[in-house]
Amino acid sequence: MSKESRLIVLAVQILIGGHPEWMLGIYTFQHARSIMEQAQVKLAEIIATATLACTALVSCLYGYVKVKQSGEISRP
C-alpha cells in the first residue's frame, strides 16, 4: 500500500473512530494482491532459471554426442 493510501486510511479511521470491517477487508485485499505480485515475480525467476539450466544441459549433451560421434575432441 502506498504512503498516500495509508494516510487516507488513517484519516478515515480517525474520522469514524476505529477499524470497521470494510477497512480491514480493503487492507486484506491489498495485502493479498501484494503477495500474489511477489509470487508472480518469483515464479518468473524460477522459470527463467530452469530455462537457462535446460539450455545449458542440452548444449552439453549436444557437445557430448558430437564428440562421441566423431571420436575426437576438437580444440578451439
Q: What is the pLDDT of residues 25-34, one digit of tens each?
A: 666 777 778 8
Give the pTM.
0.47
Report the run of H or E that residue 75 belongs to, with start and end. none
Residue-wise pLDDT tens digits, 41-74: 888 899 999 999 999 999 988 888 888 888 766 6
Average pLDDT over residues 36-45: 87
DSSP output for 11-68: HHHHHHTS--HHHHHHHHHHHHHHHHHHHHHHHHHHHHHHHHHHHHHHHHHHHHHHHH
Question: Domain segments of the chain: what residues?
Answer: 3-69
pLDDT of residue 73: 64
